[in-house]
Amino acid sequence: MDVVNIFLTSELGESLDDFVHDQRRFTFDRLGPDGPRRLVEGPMWAFVDWVMPELAGLEMCRRLRADARTVDAHVTMVLEEDDPEDRRRALRAGADDYVIGPLTRTAVLDRVLALQSRGVERQATRRFELGALTIDMAALQARWNEQPILLRPNEFRLLRFLAENPNRVLTREDLINGLGKREPPIDERTVDVWIGRLRRAIKAAGGGNPLRTVRSLGYVFDLG
Amino acid sequence: MDVVNIFLTSELGESLDDFVHDQRRFTFDRLGPDGPRRLVEGPMWAFVDWVMPELAGLEMCRRLRADARTVDAHVTMVLEEDDPEDRRRALRAGADDYVIGPLTRTAVLDRVLALQSRGVERQATRRFELGALTIDMAALQARWNEQPILLRPNEFRLLRFLAENPNRVLTREDLINGLGKREPPIDERTVDVWIGRLRRAIKAAGGGNPLRTVRSLGYVFDLG
DNA sequence: CAATCCCGTCACAATCGCGTCACACCCTTG
DNA sequence: CAAGGGTGTGACGCGATTGTGACGGGATTG
């Protein structure tokens, strides 16, 4: 059975106990300033309150992104009201997403289920190789046969996501979701430009072209 | 209670008996060159040794993928040492995953539990083989003896449909319907062109001609 | 506050996919 | 061997899809 690990920075009015639903086991846990209390395997979802007792939500967000145990978590920021300025700050601090509070059980499940529905998930792998390509999550660096590939942040995330799902056609929508770009909505054609830039960067490092276009569908990272 | 069926190609040093843990029943069984000894319901996990007494692990892997009873199994390859080249070969032969041996009870459970929680599920027949031909639905790619066949989307669908109905004469109408071309109506002669293009692509990949013309009827995908 | 970087969008050119046609070739039948 | 239907395939052209240079706004740096 799949396990979905959900972490929250605050107690909620309604009880959010562990439960099983639709073939998945949902576990809930408190998330403190020092990170998660327990280590888990599998996808992690963190909901961070804008205002926290001991720490500003934005700072918490940054910590999650810097902490090796939680870099792969999908971070949702919980805003008190819909302030465009706050939304932007949240995303810049590393959040993948946000909801307008207060946080309810329904809101949590909506988020998790919606993003899981495509079944494209991050794997918590620190460093991995695919053919000549090496991706080092800790150093945020990619190499082609030891030769560093000069990537901008967005390109790195794109390459990472593609490489995490090799030999599998990813639609432009998958890629947009995979990079956690919900807000503002991204034009699908923009993905073409991302791919173009990524290809150029790989080629500049002496690499081949592992990114295959599947016309009218999307792109694949080709192994072999 | 959920059942997790685990198949191994070799005896292990430590005993791996059936047992119950965490709401799941784990059953273990030997996996021989002819496939599983018993049919099971529910998820199957196969651990295939790189070196087997009677059959190379890679060949075993391909057989599992070609066998209707086991196409949906999650196949983990057991490597003796961490050779990137071997890993690639394993994945290309259809393995979903690999571990560096020797295989222990802990390694098996780690794998199964980790992947179950990560929600890595095999979609029905994502990949199948017929003789030298391999069709990978996820990557939308076909190979002839490991050599990729360069197919355009329509040709891929055609090949897939033919390969799904081997040894059976398909009329031009069958093929048009099989590819879901209702609108606009397709001229039956167009199918001839499709077949011609598909044959050329297979030959370009060093393949033979598995597509036989049945005069005044249609075409067959010939097995053997 | 100037210089630089990153990234989303646009517009246009290049490319691709594919249905159709036309004609040569093949096989069958008488 | 002549006749006639069936099949293979090169060529063509229309649409749709994709690649990419250019631009501008916002963020970051110094």
Per-residue pLDDT tens for A64-121?
765 656 666 777 777 776 665 666 566 556 666 667 767 777 777 766 765 554 443 4
Q: Quick one: pLDDT band at residue B93, thresholds 50, 70, 90? A: low
Average pLDDT, integer, range A6-13: 70
| CATH fold of A2-116 | Rossmann fold (3.40.50)
- Report the run of H or E that residue A170 belongs to, with start and end: strand A170-171
Identical fold, A2-116 and A127-221: no
**Closest CA to C15 C1' — which residue?**
A215
Among B119, B136, B153, select the one facing A2 at the smallest CB separation: B119
Mean pLDDT along residues A168-177: 85
User: Which chain A residues contact residue B124 at CB under 8 A?
Assistant: none
With H, G, I as helix, E, B as strand and everything else as coil, classify residue B189: helix
Whole-angstrom distance, CA of residue A110 vs CA of residue A102: 14
Residue carrying structure tokens 């430009």: A193
Nearest CA in chain B to A117: B119
Asked if A222 reaches chain B (Cβ–Cβ under 8 Å), the answer is: yes
Q: Which residue has the higher pLDDT, A98 or B58?
A: B58
User: Residues A186-201: pLDDT tens digits?
Assistant: 888 999 999 999 999 9
Distance from CA of A160 to the nearest CA of B (A): 17
DSSP 8-state code for residue B222: -
Return the higher-pLDDT residue of A31 and B93: A31
Shortest CA–C1' contact from A194: which nucleotide? C7
What percentage of chain B carries pLDDT values higher than 70? Answer: 62
Residue A10's nearest CA partner among A43, A52, A40, A56 is A52
Which position has the higher pLDDT, B71 or A224? A224
Task: Pick B82 or B138 by higher pLDDT.
Answer: B138
Q: What's the CA–C1' distance between B193 and C24, in Å? A: 15
Cα(B76)–Cα(B88) distance, integer angstroms:
13
> How far is Cα B121 from Cα A113, in angstroms, rounded to an integer?
16
Show the tokens assigned to B108.
């098996």
Report the percent of chain A where pLDDT is more than 70.
Answer: 58
Q: Residue A218: in which H helix or E strand, if any?
A: strand A218-221
Q: Is the pLDDT of residue B118 over 50?
A: no
pLDDT digit string (tens) for B162-177? 887 777 888 888 888 8
For residue A184, the model assigns a pLDDT of 74
Instruction: Tell me what percent of the residues of chain B surpass a pLDDT of 90.
Output: 8
How high is the pLDDT of residue A124? 39
Report which of residues A195 and B104 the model is more confident about.
A195
Residues B114-150: b if buried by 16+ CB within 10 A, e if exposed:
bbbbbbeebeeebbbbbbbbbbbbebbbbbbeeebbe
pLDDT value, residue A165: 77
Q: Per mean pLDDT, which range of A110-124, B150-164, B183-197 is the poorest?
A: A110-124
Identify the band that residue B196 occupies on the pLDDT scale cut at 50, 70 and 90.
very high
Q: Judge whether residue B199 has pLDDT over 90.
A: yes
Which pLDDT belongs to residue B197? 93
Q: Which run of H or of E encompasses B196?
A: helix B189-204
pLDDT in tens, A17-44: 667 665 667 777 777 766 666 666 666 7
DSSP per-residue string spanning B79-128: ESS--HHHHHHHHHTT-SEEEESS--HHHHHHHHHHHHHHT--PPTTSEE
Q: Which token pair is B74? A: 């999650």
Is the Cβ of B138 closer than 8 Å to some Cβ of chain A? yes
Residues whose CB falls within 7 A of nucleic chain C? A 152-155, 181, 184-187, 189-190, 193-194, 215; B 152-155, 181, 184-187, 189-190, 193-194, 215
B83 vs A: CB within 8 A: no
ipTM above threshold 0.85: no
The dihedral over CA atoms of B52, B58, B59, B60, expressed in degrees to the nearest 10, equals 60
Q: Which residues of B touch A224 (CB under 8 A)?
A: 88, 92, 146
Which of the four pLDDT bands, split at 50, 70 and 90, describes residue B156? very high
How far apart (Å, rounded) are the C-alpha atoms in residues A75 and B133?
A: 43
* Pairs of CB atoms within 8 A across A/B: 58
Which range, A106-120, A190-204, B30-44, B176-190, has the best average confidence (pLDDT)?
Answer: A190-204
Q: Counting Cβ atoms within 10 Å, is residue A185 exposed (0-12), middle (13-18) or buried (19+)?
A: exposed
Mean predicted lDDT score pLDDT of chain A: 73
Superfamily of domain B2-118: Response regulator (3.40.50.2300)
- Confidence (pLDDT) at A156: 86
Q: Which range among A141-150, B8-17, B33-42 has the greatest average pLDDT?
A: A141-150
State the pLDDT at residue A117.
Answer: 46
Strand D contacts (Cβ < 7 A) comprise A 88, 92, 189, 192-193, 195-196, 199-200, 213-217; B 189, 192-193, 195-196, 199-200, 213-217
Instruction: Give the domain ranges of chain A.
Output: 2-116, 127-221
* Nearest nucleotide by C1' position to the B194 CA atom: C18
CB-CB neighbors (< 8 A) of A215 in chain B = 152-153
Q: For B187-198, what is the mean pLDDT?
A: 91
B123: pLDDT strictly greater than 50? no
Q: Do B84 and A1 touch (CB under 8 A)?
A: no
A119 in contact with B, Cβ within 8 Å: yes
Using DSSP bridges, classify how beta strands A24-32 and A2-8 pair: parallel, antiparallel or unpaired.
parallel
A113 touches chain B (CB under 8 A): no
pLDDT of residue B47: 78
Please determine, looking at this structure, whether the domain spanning A127-221 carries the CATH number 1.10.10.10: yes
